[in-house]
Amino acid sequence: MTANDFRYYALSLVLPLLVMAGVTFGAGELVLSIPTGEGAVNKSLAAERTDWWNTATDFGSSLSDTPYIVTFTAIAVIVFRLAFRRWRESAFLIAAVWSQSLIFLATTVLIERNRPDVKHLDPAPPTSSFPSGHTSAAVAFYCGMALVLSTRVRHPALRALLWVVAVAASLTVAASRLYRGMHFVTDVMWGLLLGTVCVLVAARAILYRPATSREPAPRRKTATVT
């Protein structure tokens, strides 16, 4: 990596993600200090649970379970490398998925928000309730996949379908985590935002890197006096 590459990624990838990490931490402190009354939503959902929705949301939540996301990302990285014969798409997906994960993990270490006071339908991980890591990972992976694939699809209807599936999967995960008592509304909303920001930052820095930032400017020839 050249000095120009290092400066480029520091400014276009690392710096925006550090800013997002700081904003996420600040948002977490805010939800801890201000009563939101969100628990009423969780209690209302818990009171209306049915066997069918319990099963459906179990599947919906599993769409973003860590083992699945890690495995799907690894497979996609290999396929993109073989199909496109370059690393840009693979590097983008890795950056999108892992950046949201790092921000999520760092925030949960510092922000200790208890999970909703309702029966949890999933084992509660040791991480904090804020933000929803399942939700941010779903956005990063499914929308990241849609972004890469839609650049290779010419038919507008198929491109639209890719995005419909990606957005639907992300919202399904968010709704499932809320229904199953694992998160508050603000947790899943911030998870959606975090995943979206990580996809946009990684896309801008890697997928759509300007050609001028990859190539050093040509040296001007100086006139010689004879």
pLDDT tens per residue across span 114-159: 999 999 999 877 778 999 999 999 999 999 999 999 988 888 999 9
User: What predicted TM-score, i.e. pTM, was given to this entire model?
Assistant: 0.88
Classify residue 219: in a domain, yes or no: no
Buried b (16+ CB within 10 A) or exposed e, 39-50: eeebeebbeebe
Classify residue 183: in a domain, yes or no: yes
Contact yes or no for 177/135 (Cβ under 8 A)? yes
Classify residue 131: in a domain, yes or no: yes
Per-residue pLDDT, 216: 44
Alpha carbon distances (Å) from 116 to 37, 130, 211, 222: 11, 11, 48, 70
| Spans in the chain with pLDDT lower than 50 | 213-226
What single-letter DSSP state applies at residue 225? Answer: -
Cα of 19 vs its chain's centroid, Å? 15
Instruction: Domain of residue 172: give its range.
Output: 3-213
Compute the C-alpha angle 108/136/146, nearest 5°. 160
Per-residue pLDDT, 86: 85
Compute the C-alpha angle 56/180/96, nearest 5°. 85
Classify residue 222: in a domain, yes or no: no
Calculate Rg over the CA atoms of the chain. 21
The whole-angstrom separation of Cα 95 and Cα 191 is 16
Per-residue pLDDT, 219: 47
Classify residue 58: in a domain, yes or no: yes
Per-residue pLDDT, 223: 44
Q: How many domains does the chain have?
A: 1
Is 6 exposed, middle or buried (CB count within 10 Å of its CB: 0-12, 13-18, 19+)? exposed
Helices 156-179 and 185-202: angle between axes, nearest 10 degrees: 150
Per-residue pLDDT, 225: 43
Classify residue 220: in a domain, yes or no: no
Per-residue pLDDT, 211: 63
Classify residue 223: in a domain, yes or no: no
